[in-house]
Amino acid sequence: MKTYKTIVFVIISLLLLGQIFSGCGVEEKEASWYQAVVDDLIALQPYEVPEHLRQENCSKNGTEFDVNEYFNVMTNLSIEPGYVLDYVYKFEFLGGQPFLYVKAGSEKPFLSYEEYYLKTMYQEGIDDVYGIVTPLWNQQSGSFEDKIRIDGSKEGFFQYVVLQVLGGQFYLFWHANYNDWRIICEPSRIDTIVEQVLNSGYQEGIPAGFAEKAKALDCKPVVELKDDTAAVSLLIFTDWGGFKRLTFTMKRDYPHTIIDYRSETLLEYDCGIMF
């Protein structure tokens, strides 16, 4: 009987410990899993801009990249039945880039960026200083509460942030290539970046002790689940700014509105290139 009680006590203790630590930054997945999520999404993204989009006031014709393919690799996310992920493409002399939004499948898509802009111009979003981080906009509600549902797991909240940060990194033209943010989840990626920077030929932009400081950075993503909110913190690198830690706070329950976004520069760097 004592042995049975002991086993029950141990099981209950383990369950309680699991509940205690479920909301902290301790991750169940290896760093390689998180990096694979990022890599799989990037692998889907086309680089070359279609000719019919390389003109002002351009419109899509249905032959372009389908961003709904993202859900094939972001398996902890799903879009509400009857809705699709879509985008408009903005092209101008100085650059071109897509803007993602969610719409009901029965609604007509925006035909141009100008039409999209007229709908979103009075809405408050969350942008960084270069306008790179922009939560997906929902055409039906007219707000930044999209129809993408997270399965409640830490992995799901991580994937949601990856989609927000990297989802628009395709068909980038000229100045839009300032959006070069790379999400780093494992140390080997830092080593690769350090090597590229040191061999860039632009030594003026490299701060003293760059390699040592970069390799000392903690790059594993942190996901914290609280009663009402979830916070995702991850490391990124850009040639125009260096290493930064981004932190997104969003509603834990659906709709998962992003309510706060912070960017902290950990190690500055500028490649010296101006488009």
- Here the tokens at position 155 are 């992995």
**Closest by Cα among 157, 138, 145, 27 to 86:** 138
Mean pLDDT value across residues 218-228: 97
100 band by pLDDT with thresholds 50, 70 and 90: very high
- Rounded to whole angstroms, the Cα distance separating 146 from 83 reads 10
Indicate the burial class of 158 (C-beta count within 10 angstroms; 0-12, 13-18, 19 or more).
buried
Percentage above 90 pLDDT, the chain: 75
Residue 91's Cα: distance from chain center in Å?
A: 22
Mean pLDDT value across residues 150-169: 97
Q: What is the pLDDT of residue 20?
A: 38
Query: How much is the mean pLDDT over the chain?
Result: 89
Amino acid occupying residue 144: F
Write the pLDDT tens digit of every residue in 46-78. 999 999 999 999 999 999 999 999 999 999 999
Q: Is the pLDDT of residue 225 over 90?
A: yes
Q: What is the pLDDT of residue 127?
A: 84
111 band by pLDDT with thresholds 50, 70 and 90: confident
Q: What is the pLDDT of residue 214?
A: 98
Write the pLDDT tens digit of every residue in 234-262. 999 999 999 999 999 999 999 999 999 99
Write the pLDDT tens digit of every residue in 186-202. 999 999 999 999 998 88
21 band by pLDDT with thresholds 50, 70 and 90: very low
Q: What is the pLDDT of residue 7?
A: 46
**Closest by Cα among 186, 164, 180 to 77:** 164
Q: Is the pLDDT of residue 231 over 50?
A: yes
Q: What is the pLDDT of residue 16?
A: 43
Q: What is the pLDDT of residue 23?
A: 41
Indicate the burial class of 51 (C-beta count within 10 angstroms; 0-12, 13-18, 19 or more).
exposed
- Rounded to whole angstroms, the Cα distance separating 272 from 275 reads 10
